[in-house]
Structure 1
Amino acid sequence: MTQIPHLELKNEVLLRIQKNFPLAKKPFLAIANELHTTEEEVLNILNKAKEENIIRQTSAIFDTKKLGYSSSLVAFEIASEDIDNTVDILNTHPGISHNYERNHTFNIWFTIAVAPNSALGLEKTIEILAKKTKAKGFIILPTLKLFKISVKLDTTNKEEKQEELAKRSFTELELTPYHYKFIKLLQMDIKFVSEPFKFIVDELKINYDELFNVIKDFINSGVMRRFASILNHRKAGFSANAMVVWEIDESNSQEFGEKAASFSAVSHCYLRPKYPNWNYNLFTMIHGKTTQDTKDTIDDIAKVIEYKDRMELYSSREFKKVRIIYFSDEFETWEKTNNN
């Protein structure tokens, strides 16, 4: 068995759990066999990375919209003296998964989702939050077109600079109470043990074949984007992460969006609406180990798309970054408490 140097092995393992997580009874044995090492060594690497907070969470990544949720990116303009109170208020909402301070007049940026049975709806919820936080102004930036959503940090430095975007067609899947049982368990953070899916099999009193068939149905229908680990960017060495926004001609959005999304360092790429006080409509989230890495990617994108203006928004503080717990009672509780 060829021994791979430890650091190289660690980086290969971290890339695989982001990219190609094996849906198998013993997924870490499958990774070990691929890398010519032992399951024990893979588990040691992963548990150590979890302890060091390099790995945030390992679970199913669901499509919020396909689960019936309404969601959007939102930017608030908050007075500096009100930021701490604003963060406390926003972070109580169970549908706010990401919350950052960025270098702009619109200084608080967050993503929010509301449940299918929401009594308030998305816009009313945002209005309530704006009032409670004393926002001077805000913009709601829902997704008009999705070009890419896939956070895969290249821990190996071996990935291609650009990648071909997969063209996918999805099957129809009508979600039933049977499916919701799986969703509630698959969204839970797994443990790095030999059989990490065993708790689901035991809880639902099923076999592994049934579990993986349901997961396959979720993926084929687009209900689940993938099963993967999400890394803590900074802990994994990617400290220069920028949201770069571009003003483009919407009539060419498909072409330019696909070109921007093709860069491996781009994890998210969307077309969003313009406003009189906000001209940028193409959003790209770019990850780099250094500021120069990120700037190089920005310059490379600028060479292949036509744009009127662009702006780099770096996050100065991260206030919240979690996975939404779908179909949680917390959504209804929050609305009952705040609908007044």
Structure 2
Amino acid sequence: MNTTSRKLLNLLQWAFPLSGRPWKTLGEKLDLPESEVLAQVRALYDDGVIRQIGAIFDTRRLGYTSALIALRVEASRLDEVACAINRHPGVSHNYQREHDFNLWFTLAVPPGSDFETVAERLTDLPGVERVRLLPTLRLFKIGVRLDMERDEKHLDRDQAPSDLPTRPPRPLTLQDKTLIRVTQEDLPLVEEPFAQLAEQAAVTQEQLLAWLAEMQAMGYLRRFAAILRHRKAGFTDNGMLTWCVREDRIEEAGRIAGAFPQVSHCYQRPTYPDWPYNLFTMVHARSRENCERIRERIAEALRPLGVSRSAALYTLKEYKKERVKYFAETAEA
């Protein structure tokens, strides 16, 4: 992958232009013609590096209930259990991880659904020995941005995350839900992609772009961006690094951990007698060694808060990774 492709991937992840001719705008930043930008994006899709370009919405703000769920599954039944869980359309991520709790997945259910009933039904399977629901209690950071240009081992801490809504939310309308269904799909690789999406939704391009800006200001839309396949992009290892933090220091710890650019997700989650870790940080790196070095740096930063216990759960197998389709007519309750 050449230098220009790496710069392009960073722009697609971090600064996708919400404009009538986004590829032209990107080309101006890269000193490339619009046609060349489109050609490079198509090649990155063909190579499997780009998974999707589209709107990334905030699950909870849309009214969905979601949680991370940890299972301890009998080893001989792990594949069978994972396959059964994957059938639910609200399951977006499902991984085998290195731990006694060996299967971890995320579940989101639409407004009006009873989350605990759905989760109980979904996990009532032969071979499942223990279930732990781990909903988000506090969100400190969310947003996967793989830096394609710099070595993740040497990145300095950023400012504390501050992607806050700038406008009070209003209730979602039927048209909002139609536009969500349209914009959460893959962006067409044509010169004016938003015009094509607008036509599908029976609005003008100007109305669609204004709506995206409004959704972002209200916090419904987290960002419009490319999602990469980590391994194809060179990030072969990811670790769920978890920390045991005193309740009175959790907010400070979350700000510190979330300021590391290598951390894509940072949450407070509940604890159990057999799971004492309440701060979760996700790290993506080009090697296990790099993950461990980043873990050491986070541990050093948290040490003044009295944090000494942690657990690193590395992915052994990816069973499922895809976006939840919000307000889909086929969604299960």
Is TM more than 0.5 here? yes
User: In the alignment, what sits opposite 1:168?
Assistant: 164
User: In the alignment, what sits opposite 1:271?
Assistant: 268
Shift of 1:158: 7.5
- The letter of the residue matching 1:323 is R
Equivalent of 1:197, from 194, 199, 223? 194
Question: How many residue pairs end up in the alignment?
Answer: 326
User: In the alignment, what sits opposite 2:124?
Assistant: 131
- The letter of the residue matching 1:45 is Q
Shift of 1:134: 3.5
Q: Deviations over 1:243-263 (max 9, x none)?
A: 000001111111110100001
* Structure 2: distance between partners of 1:237 and 1:38: 27
Contact 2:188 2:196 in 1 (8 A): no
- Alignment of 1:188 with 2:185, yes or no, is yes
TM-score normalised by length of structure 1: 0.93
TM-score normalised by length of structure 2: 0.94
Q: Deviations over 1:223-247 (max 9, x none)?
A: 0100011101110000121000000
Contact 1:71 1:122 in 2 (8 A): yes
Contact 2:78 2:127 in 1 (8 A): no
* Structure 1: distance between partners of 2:322 and 2:212: 22
User: In the alignment, what sits opposite 1:237?
Assistant: 234
Equivalent of 2:147, from 151, 154, 164? 154
User: In the alignment, what sits opposite 2:311?
Assistant: 311
- Alignment of 1:122 with 2:118, yes or no, is no
User: In the alignment, what sits opposite 1:145?
Assistant: 138
After superposition, the CA RMSD in angstroms is 1.4
- The letter of the residue matching 1:310 is S
Equivalent of 1:50, from 41, 45, 50? 45
Gaps of 5+ in 2: none
Which deviates the most, 158-167 or 199-208? 158-167
Structure 1 runs of 4+ aligned residues shifted over 3 Å read none
Which deviates the most, 153-162 or 319-328? 153-162
Q: Deviations over 1:84-131 (max 9, x none)?
A: 21122101100000000001111010000011132xx11111111221
Shift of 1:178: 1.7
Equivalent of 1:250, from 232, 242, 247? 247
Specify the SS of the correspondent of 1:314: strand
Specify the SS of the correspondent of 2:61: helix
Pair 34,158 (structure 1): closer, same or farther in 2 beyond 3 Å: farther
* Structure 2: distance between partners of 1:94 and 1:234: 24
Specify the SS of the correspondent of 2:240: strand
- The letter of the residue matching 1:296 is R
* Structure 2: distance between partners of 1:292 and 1:273: 29
Specify the SS of the correspondent of 2:318: strand
- Alignment of 1:23 with 2:18, yes or no, is yes
- The letter of the residue matching 1:123 is E
